[in-house]
Amino acid sequence: MIGDDPLNIIITGVGGQGNVVASRIIASAAVNEGLYVSVGEIYGASQRGGAVTSYVRLSGEMQYGPIIPRGMAHIIIGFEPIESLRAIGNFGSKKTRAIINPRPIYPVDVLSGTLEYPPVEEVLKAIKELVYGVQVIEATELAKKAGDAVMQNIVMVGCVVGSGLIPIEIETTKEIIKESFAKERVEANLKAFKSGVGEIKGRKAV
């Protein structure tokens, strides 16, 4: 049922982008699919402009530890270009597939002029050199259309679930989304999710 076991997924972004919510949704959906799931998360810096990385590990056999070994990420869901590259640098390999929101969130070091943020195309090019394939998703734009830019995380979840790369059904995920948000937010989030699914379905697989 599941190709690589464990299937290692990394969700990476910046504090405030909704990493934890996204990893929780994927993990909970996987539980409902009957898989062993472990999620590793470090979020002390989450609201403070720091990078946040979640590890989600799915297995049909056993419970794995919360950290993915180097070079063993199968899927990288990147909410931010340079954080995606950083995660791929640590955990990626030529087998890794990446789904990336290309919208930069500038580090304060860049804002202050101490460091430079390279052109996004170059970051994406660097990523392409390191992985098997990349889907670039304008998730923030899609989220805006769905009602609020912050839902880019849900758009991205839609993309990864819609891609068929992980053994989780669209319907299962929808149910989890319904449980995960306050009533008044459910509809917008489902819309964001669907737009992610639609976006990826319209593309050729890489």
Binding residues for other proteins, rule: CB under 8 A, are: 14-16, 24, 27-28, 31, 36-45, 47-51, 63-72, 82-83, 85-86, 88-90, 92-94, 103, 105-118, 122-123, 126, 129-130, 140, 149-150
> Is 3 or 116 the residue whose CB approaches other proteins more closely?
116
Radius of gyration of the chain (CA): 16
Do 104 and 81 meet the contact criterion of CB atoms below 8 Å apart? yes
Query: Least distance (Å) from other proteins to the CB of residue 174?
Result: 17
Query: Least distance (Å) from other proteins to the CB of residue 26?
Result: 11
> Is 149 or 188 the residue whose CB approaches other proteins more closely?
149
> Is 103 or 203 the residue whose CB approaches other proteins more closely?
103
Query: Least distance (Å) from other proteins to the CB of residue 154?
Result: 14
Query: Least distance (Å) from other proteins to the CB of residue 182?
Result: 12
* Backbone dihedral angles phi then psi of residue 83, each to the nearest 5 degrees: -70, -35
Closest of 191, 180, 105, 107 to residue 148, by C-alpha: 191
Q: Which letter does DSSP use for residue 132 in this model?
A: S
Closest of 168, 8, 12 to residue 77, by C-alpha: 12
> Is 41 or 169 the residue whose CB approaches other proteins more closely?
41
Query: Least distance (Å) from other proteins to the CB of residue 201?
Result: 26
> What are the residues whose beta carbons fall under 8 Å from the beta carbon of 104, sequence distance 6 or more?
80, 81, 82, 117, 120
- Helix (DSSP H) and strand (DSSP E) numbers for the chain: 8, 6
For residue 61, the SS3 value is coil
> Is 113 or 202 the residue whose CB approaches other proteins more closely?
113
Query: Least distance (Å) from other proteins to the CB of residue 192?
Result: 14
> Is 182 or 202 the residue whose CB approaches other proteins more closely?
182
Q: Which letter does DSSP use for residue 78 in this model?
A: E
Do 33 and 169 meet the contact criterion of CB atoms below 8 Å apart? yes
